[in-house]
Structure 1
Amino acid sequence: MAFNKFVVSPLLALPRPAKRLVVVSLDLVLALVSVWGAFYLRIDQTGLPLLQQKYVYLLAPLLAFPLFVRFGLYRAIFRYTGLAALATTAKAVGVYALLFFLALLWFKWDGVPRSVGLIQPILFLLLVGTSRALARFWLAGWSGKAAHAAGRMLIYGAGEAGVQTASALGVARQFVLLGFIDDDPKKAGRSINGVGIMQPVDVPDAVERMGVTDILLAMPTLDRARRNEIIASLRALPVHVRTLPGMGDLASGRVSVQDFQELDVEDLLGRPPVPPDSTLLARNLAGKVVLVTGAGGSIGSELCRQIILERPRQLVLLDHNEFGLYSIHQELEGLCAEQQHPVELVPLIASVGNFGRLREVCKVYRPATVYHAAAYKHVPLVECNPSEGVLNNVFGTLNTARAAMESSVAHFVLVSTDKAVRPTNVMGATKRMAELVLQALAASPTVRFHLPDGTQSTEVANNTLFAMVRFGNVLGSSGSVVPLFRKQLRAGGPLTVTHEEVTRYFMTIPEAAQLVLQAGAMAHGGDVFVLDMGQPVKIMDLARRMAQLSGLSVRDESNPAGDIEIKVVGLRPGEKLYEELLIGENPEGTAHPRIMKAHEDFVAWPQLAPVLVEMRLAATQNDEAVMKKILTQLVHGYAPPSKSHSAI
């Protein structure tokens, strides 16, 4: 204990250059010791060098040091040293042995038997290899003493990723590895480094008998359908289910405990995403100038990631949120470099409420395709700030569409929402109004816009194809319940659900973005596309699923001793129990199995334009009554609550 306290601990506290110097010094000493050992074994010499033997003592360290540097032995972290690092050490010493033996043959120094050239490298390899192995177990053990095992783990997958994971567990000492699980019956009953392999059917018994707390999915290449089956089979067990990152993240060859992740949103969704149609994806993107508004948001940023993969000539990122724009711009620069895509990225700080700025952007960069994702989306916030919701969602869309028309943008796609269908809140009503604006523009070969002073602009020819894509909630977005539930799980609960029967359509962010891009490519003008979101999910069921997959039992009347409570807090202002995707009936199919076309009524532009003038005036004056009256008249199914939730 005293040795650990006064020697090992100070060594671990040294800066990395100092640690590297210690390792270099150790290797040089071992080179000299192995030379002495070779002379002792060959001619029984224990004293100082005789004749020209001193040259051998000089040759060994001078030859070993540059070779070890060249092979990267001093870049390794001792506590993570494994078979790969030991193999590299053997290769370095092998090259050293060849050069050392040839040097002795060439110089023929007096008093130096040629057999020393064979004995010394063998001793050197044994000493260096032993020093690395001892350091690995010693330092790893010392660093892990402070952190007692936090759990008892089974690894699902006895392949390469599982073996790497087992090695990381041995180093970190945060988990006790109790066994492997594998679907291959040929592996059942065998072991890896003394740890047994069991079949999936044996897992429930093993969890109870061994006191398992965690199961790690170490199968990064497994297809989604089989992965979902495995997760479903583990859901009823009182264990925390975790996962490893994808194979791309494992390319470094080392897995650490920090790589263990919560199950991703696709696992929680429980269905495989539909693979994209590459032809549709590239149609309006490849080699073109593309503009994305709201580029720093959840959907906007994912649209940008997907667009980059289709190799546009230029991607213009527009957002009024400086940090969000900075973050996505930095990420896309890295993605372009990684994928070697020569895409010019243009980050622009701008608000869709500023028509002059939007017109300037469109005239300077001349985008061929615009994806309008900028919007206020959080239902309770927009309910408390209706004028801002109207100005941003309705007139921000109108400003962007007008700028696109004046610059002859070929395609304009609005990212809409299922909350636009028979809305009970201002947010949904403003998104439906945005759809109505685009539908009216799409049906007009020429358009006169009303200016802020009430006069009309000159007539603008409409050469732009407008389309809207309507879908439900995306898992993992800033407003999704998934991040909220994870935060509440980490805090020990309770999980808050607004109503026991509330249901929502869910889709992953990448899938939603891909479908938006594909739907926009199928537009003919004025299309309202609806994404097939699969079956709606009860939020209560999602909360229970997340709790169970975190190894927690739900505390309720039937299980008062459960780990975590699910609390019903009541519907928020403007919130519905069920969301819909269609206003009308009989949606029309398209070439894509997950994309349908809705047939929705709209108001022609000559009738809509003067109403928009009245609505803009009401919004700038924060006249909530007039705004909601207009929304009630134009948006089918909208009925504002009798009590106002406005913050002002």
Structure 2
Amino acid sequence: MKNFKRLLVICIDLFLVNLAYLLAIDLTFYDSFTEITTIYKQDALAINCIFIVFFTLFKLYDSLWYLTGTDEFLMAVGGSVLAGLFSILYTRFLGNTIPLNVSVIGVVFAICFVLGYRILYRVYRRYMLYAPYKYASGQKRVMIVGAGSAGAMIINEILSRRELKYNPTVIVDDDKSKIGKRISGVTVEGDREDILRIVKEKEIDLIIIAIPSIDEKNKMEIINLCKNTGCKIQIIPGIYEILKGDATISKIKDVDVEDLLGRDPINLDNKGISDYITNKTVIVTGGGGSIGSELCRQIATFKPKMLIIFDIYENNAYDIQNELKYNYPKLNLKVLIGSVRDSERIEEIFSLYRPDVVFHAAAHKHVPLMEDSPKEAIKNNVLGTYNVALAADKYNASRFVLISTDKAVNPTNIMGATKRLCEMVVQAMDKKSDTEFVAVRFGNVLGSNGSVIPLFKKQISQGGPITVTHKNITRFFMLIPEAAQLVLQAGAFAKGGEIFVLDMGKPVKIYDLACDLIRLSGLEPNRDIKIKVTGLRPGEKLYEELLMSEEGLTNTSHNKIYIGKPSSIEINELETKLEELRRILLEDNHDMIKEKMKQIVPTYQEMLENETAADSEN
């Protein structure tokens, strides 16, 4: 079928070329038409061959003409002009002498005919294929934000894929000079300030933001305008997609809460990170988790001598193993299963591989679950950290980086208290060890396992309600790649004993986050999707803090990383307390365990049930 169509187009071109020459003869030598035609017949085969050769060289038979753009058109013009010139040269010097004016006019006509019928074919295809669907029922009326190359590519793909049932209805662009102009029949009718008006006038269902080069501030402003329209919002990921030619419908993603944060790109000191990771053996405990796996991805780019992923959950470890093997085939990767609670397993791994750098991300992190299982929180978080820290010291690791949390600040729950005790272990170990022990503290990570975003999305997909514990509850949020990048950067700054505090930006109200997610889905909060306030859970605070009151705060050379240096406990004293804690764990008495934690972590103050209830009523 493909060869038949190609042959058919060649036959049409030959017919048009010959028609062009005959028409030229008729116009210039009407009285001698038969005589000049006889001369032309002797050269017709050569002329036809010349045109077909140049049309083939310039790929006129390789283009989908109903989708062609400027490049294909220019190639067609170039091929036709050169074919005409060579035809004239042939008839003047090698073939029979066809009058020059016949040759010139014939070439002009041939170019016009060959290009003209292709253009007419494209117009016909567009009318016959697109027009019936443009006004058909069941179409989603689409607004494109951005009248640049990305917007044009998206419009053309929508028009060529009618099975999507999208109707590109209008374009908006902040460039005033583009207003009133048209792209593939779609008119630019305003700028970002006109979005709300145009959505109502044109009854838009879907908004696609097609400005891959947009900065975070302007992207956030446009999304904030769009989210109040009631339309579903989608966006092209970034400029690199355009450079790769991937600005297609399949690459467009739903606008998410991450896009609303307006976070600027992180500038890293790659040399500083490379100095302590490249050609070093690096182990990531909890390497299959959200933060741990992202750390592994980014560590892999710095070409470590060996990367060891250590995790208790084999499914996560298996997934990141496959991903890294595919993306970094030359990476020396070891994936080991085990628990940080198992000191013998930790000893075995450290004695065999002797890692230079340790990123300790293994931890239990769910606040309500740990309130009901404080023993497990202590065994995994505290004693697990102590096991890994002892092994790092014994086998002379150069750096040990603990992943901590804002819940360690003035903790009101057992999970936060255990993470604060982990920080104390790190700072105490640093005083006696040549290893540089540090902690990195940050808040919630968007999209991580157990975060509110996946939960909210699931609740929206089920028709609601979305459950929020308190209307005024706030949290700090950070993107997973952003957090991992800053952890690596903080590791480069390590001198020993620091608690690095990451700049999390402004705290986000969870209720507003739920409303934004509903609107981004094209729905209305508390009309289409209800938001149910359930009350604070045990140990849950209305807001989180990143620094304790007794901590100072100093700058680093990175504008998003600060250092807090609280007073630290001596290792001998801490080991005594840990031994007492081990003995109490044997009693299986939750009250005794929590009381002991309050003695060891003075800032730990349990939130009483009546306080939680009072907060929930406010």
1:177 aligns with 2:177: no
Residue matched to 2:156: 167
Instruction: Return the alpha-carbon distance in structure 2 between the equivalents of residues 307 and 336 of structure 1.
Output: 11
Query: How many Å apart are 1:528 and its aligned residue?
Result: 1.7
1:312 corresponding residue in structure 2: 304
Shift of the alpha carbon at 1:181? 1.8
- Match in the other structure for 1:455: none
Q: What is the distance in 2 between the residues matched to 1:95 and 1:332? A: 52
| Pairing partner for 2:179 from 178, 182, 188 | 188
C-alpha displacement at 1:122, in angstroms?
Answer: 7.7
Deviation at 1:273, TM superposition (A): 5.3
Letter in 2 for 1:25: F
Aligned position for 1:646: none
> Would you say the 8 A contact 1:584–1:598 is kept in 2?
no
Residue equivalent to 1:218: 210
Aligned to 1:276: 268
For 1:344 and 1:88, the matched residues in 2 are separated by 50
Deviation at 1:119, TM superposition (A): 8.4
- Structure-1 separation of matches of 2:236 and 2:137: 22
Please say if residues 89 and 129 of structure 1, whose CA atoms lie closer than 8 Å, have aligned partners that are also in contact: no
Counterpart AA for 1:597: I
- Provide the secondary structure at the position in 2 that maps to 1:30: helix
Counterpart residue number, 1:297: 289
Contact residue 619 and residue 627 of structure 1 kept, 8 A: yes
- Aligned with residue 372 of structure 1, among 335, 349, 360: 360
Matched, 1:518 2:489: yes
Which residue in the other structure is 1:262 paired with? 254
Instruction: Give the aligned residue type for 2:430.
Output: A
Cα gap change, 1:302 to 1:252, in 2 (>3 Å) = same
Residue by residue over 1:570-603, the C-alpha shift from the partner in whole angstroms, topping out at 9 and shown as x without a partner, is 2233322222222333422122333232233444
* Corresponding residue number in structure 1 for 2:540: 575
Deviations 1:434-478 (CA, angstroms, capped at 9, x unpaired): 22222222222xxxxxxxxxxxxxxxxx32110011111112222
Summarize the alignment of residues 436-451 of structure 1 with structure 2, pairs less than 5 Å apart: 436-444=424-432
Q: Which of 515, 518, 523 lines up with 1:544 in the alignment? A: 515
Asked if 1:204 corresponds to 2:209, the answer is no
Q: Distance in 2 between matches of 1:403 and 1:610?
A: 19
Residue deviations 1:308-364, cap 9 Å, x none?
344434332222333322332343345447xxxx64333333332333333333333
- 1:149 maps onto 2:110 in alignment: no
Equivalent pair of 1:299/1:509 in contact (CA under 8 Å): yes
Q: 1:589 aligns with which of 554, 560, 566?
A: 554
2:510 matched to 1:528? no
2:466 is aligned, of 491, 495, 520, to 495
* CA distance in 1: counterparts of 2:410 and 2:494, whole angstroms: 24
Query: In 1, are the aligned partners of 2:178 and 2:188 still within 8 Å (CA)?
Result: no
Report the counterpart of residue 242 of structure 1 in structure 2.
Answer: 234
CA displacement 1:457-505 (0-9 Å, x = unmatched): xxxxx32110011111112222222222233333332222111121111
SS at match of 2:217: helix
Partner residue, 1:31: 10
Question: 2:26 maps to which residue?
Answer: none
For 2:55 and 2:175, the matched residues in 1 are separated by: 46
1:452 equivalent in structure 2: none
Quick check: 1:83 aligned with 2:69? yes
Task: Tell me how far 1:215 sits from its aligned partner.
Answer: 2.6
Does residue 409 of structure 1 match 2:409?
no
Q: Which moved more, 1:246-255 or 1:294-303?
A: 246-255
Q: Are residue 425 (structure 1) and residue 396 (structure 2) matched?
A: no
- Alpha-carbon distance between aligned partners in 1 of 2:200 and 2:598, rounded to the nearest angstrom: 58
Aligned pair 1:630/2:596, yes or no? yes
* Structure 1 residue 127, shift from structure 2 partner: 6.3
Q: Indicate how the Cα distance of structure 1 residues 27 and 133 shifts in structure 2: closer, same or farther if over 3 A, else same.
A: farther
1:398 equivalent among 386, 399, 411? 386
Letter in 2 for 1:421: V
Which residue number corresponds to residue 219 of structure 2? Answer: 227
Matched, 1:598 2:590: no
Matching of residue 607 in structure 1 with residue 559 in structure 2: no
- In 2, Cα distance between equivalents of 1:200 and 1:307: 40
- Contact (CA 8 Å) 1:387, 1:620: kept in 2 or not? no
Cα distance in 2 between the residues matched to 1:286 and 1:77: 48
Question: In structure 1, what is the equivalent of residue 374 of structure 2?
Answer: 386
Contact 1:292 1:372 in 2 (8 A): yes
Aligned to 1:326: 318
Identify if the C-alpha distance between structure 1 residues 408 and 96 changes in structure 2 by more than 3 Å, giving closer, same or farther.
farther
Deviation for aligned residue 1:506: 1.3
Deviation per CA, 1:115-166: give whole Å up to 9, x if none.
899988986766677667766776677999999312x232222111122122
CA contact (8 A) 1:421 1:581 kept: yes
Any idea what SS the aligned residue of 1:404 has? helix
Give per-residue Cα distances to partners, 1:253-294, cap 9 Å, x unaligned.
353333332224442224535533445433422343322222
Q: In 2, Cα distance between the equivalents of 1:411 and 1:235? A: 45
Listed one character per residue, the Cα deviations across residues 39-79 of structure 1 (whole Å, up to 9, x for unaligned) are: 566579xxxxxx999999998999799969xx6976x8898
Residues 158, 197 of structure 1: 8 Å contact kept: no
SS in 2 for 1:468: strand
2:32 aligned partner: none
Q: CA 1:54 to 1:235, structure 2 compared with 1: closer, same or farther past 3 Å?
A: closer
How large is the RMSD of aligned CA atoms in angstroms? 4.1
CA distance in structure 2 between the aligned counterparts of 1:620 and 1:480, rounded to whole angstroms: 32
User: Once the 2 structures are TM-superposed, how far is the Cα of residue 24 of structure 1 from its aligned partner?
Assistant: 2.6
Q: Distance in 2 between matches of 1:60 and 1:400?
A: 77
* TM-fit CA distance, 1:109: 11
Tell me the residue number matched to 2:530: 565
* 1:234 positional shift: 3.7
| 2-structure distance, mates of 1:92, 1:363 | 70
Instruction: State the SS of the aligned residue for 1:284.
Output: helix
Does the Cα contact within 8 Å between 2:597 and 2:604 map onto a contact in 1? Answer: yes
In structure 2, the CA distance between the partners of 1:488 and 1:73, relative to structure 1 (3 Å rule), is farther
1:507 and 2:481 equivalent?
Answer: no
Shift of residue 372 of structure 1?
A: 0.8
Please say if residues 554 and 562 of structure 2, whose CA atoms lie closer than 8 Å, have aligned partners that are also in contact: yes
Alpha-carbon distance, 1:548 to partner = 3.2
Q: Kindly state the Cα deviation for residue 97 of structure 1 after the two structures are TM-superposed.
A: 5.4
Change over 3 Å in CA distance of 1:78–1:119 after alignment to 2 = closer
Q: Tell me if the contact between 1:317 and 1:325 (Cα under 8 Å) persists in the aligned partners.
A: yes
AA at the equivalent of 2:201: R
Contact 1:245 1:261 in 2 (8 A): yes
Separation in 1 of the partners of 2:347 and 2:84?
72
Alpha-carbon contact 1:30-1:128 (below 8 Å) kept: no
Kindly indicate whether the alpha-carbon contact (under 8 Å) linking 2:156 and 2:184 is maintained by their aligned counterparts in 1: no
Q: Distance in 2 between matches of 1:59 and 1:165?
A: 39
- Going from structure 1 to structure 2, the CA distance change for 1:65 and 1:161 (only over 3 Å counts) comes to closer
Q: Given the superposition, is the C-alpha separation of residues 355 and 136 from structure 1 closer, same or farther in structure 2, using an over 3 Å criterion?
A: farther
Segments of structure 2 that go 5 or more residues without pairing to the other structure are 24-40, 610-618
- Give the one of 287, 311, 333 matched to 1:345: 333
Map Cα deviations across residues 530-552 of structure 1 (whole Å, 9 max, x no partner): 22323222111222233334443
